[in-house]
């Protein structure tokens, strides 16, 4: 007996739902790929010090942008990326400078509605520069964690809340638990002009010390359907 018109319609509707679900899964996989590429581009740009290009990786039509650079401080607002990275642009790198922060252990979650995404990475980096006075090289190890909120703007994924969390920083020939203090940063908050000063101190900054245990900050994101301000890697009311 041939299926009734009602049964055939029900079967077609079931296939359509299945196709839509598959389309959503493909879109989520594409988003993960694009987000990894975006973060990878950022890392390659830091190697050559192209901070102007890094600024272009952030959203343009979103007012509540956020940038936290390690122990330097945080910036908020639509112009946060420019103010956060402009100081690096104004201080060109000297010959002998090399900064590499390879990222690994990614955990990426794309919202069910496809509008936002969240991700974390660990970066095991190195920094080298030449002393202006002696001409000798100075090298340090720098390990960080990244917690980033992404937003889709005009069909492209962009940085929304970009948070670098310091793990530790030390001389290359030193024991890594001998943490550098904030005053040993290559650019301290005191070096910023008034226009570029951070809007506040670093948020959730817990560098490793011999007197503490690691905190699960930033915590890897959990699957979620739509944006929830309570889980942001940016600035919250907590």
**Full pLDDT tens readout for the chain, 238 residues:** 677 767 667 766 677 777 777 677 778 889 999 999 999 999 999 999 999 999 999 999 999 999 999 988 999 999 999 999 998 888 778 888 888 999 999 999 999 999 999 999 999 998 888 877 787 888 888 899 999 999 999 999 999 999 999 998 888 788 777 766 544 444 444 466 667 889 999 999 888 888 888 899 999 999 999 999 999 999 854 3
Whole-structure pTM value = 0.86
Query: Which residue in this structure is represented by tokens 């000063």?
Result: 197
Q: Both tokens of residue 78?
A: 């639509």
Backbone angles phi, psi at 144, to 5 degrees: -135, 170
CA–CA separation, 104 vs 131, rounded Å?
Answer: 31
Torsion of CA 108, 150, 77, 121, to 10 degrees: 30
- Give the domains, in start order, of the chain with CATH numbers: 7-231 (3.10.450.50)
The secondary structure of 11-65 as a DSSP string is HHHHHHHHHHHHHHHHHHHHHHHHHHHHHHHHHHHHHHT-HHHHHTTB-SS-S--
Q: Report whether 146 contacts 221 (CB < 8 A).
A: no
Count of alpha carbons within 13 Å of 112, Cβ hemisphere only? 7
């Amino acid at each position: 007996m041939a299926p009734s018109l009602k049964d055939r319609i029900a079967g077609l509707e079931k296939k359509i739902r299945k196709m839509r679900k598959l389309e959503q899964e493909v879109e989520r996989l594409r988003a993960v790929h694009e987000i990894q590429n975006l973060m990878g581009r950022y890392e390659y740009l830091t190697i050559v010090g192209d901070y102007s290009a890094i600024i272009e990786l952030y959203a343009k039509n979103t007012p509540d942008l956020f940038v936290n650079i390690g122990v330097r401080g945080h910036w908020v607002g639509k112009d946060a990326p420019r103010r956060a990275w402009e100081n690096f642009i104004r201080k060109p790198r000297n010959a002998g400078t090399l900064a590499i922060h390879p990222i690994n252990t990614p955990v990426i979650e794309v919202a069910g509605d496809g509008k936002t995404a969240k991700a974390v990475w660990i970066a095991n980096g190195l920094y080298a520069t030449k002393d202006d006075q002696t001409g000798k090289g100075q090298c340090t190890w720098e390990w960080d964690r990244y917690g980033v909120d992404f937003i889709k703007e005009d069909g492209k994924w962009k940085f929304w809340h970009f948070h670098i969390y310091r793990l530790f920083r030390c001389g290359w020939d030193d024991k890594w638990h001998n943490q550098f203090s904030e005053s040993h940063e290559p650019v301290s908050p005191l070096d910023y002009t008034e226009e570029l000063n951070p809007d506040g101190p670093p948020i959730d900054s817990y560098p490793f010390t011999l007197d503490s245990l690691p905190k699960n900050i930033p915590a890897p994101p959990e699957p979620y359907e739509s944006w929830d301000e309570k889980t942001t890697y940016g600035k919250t009311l907590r």
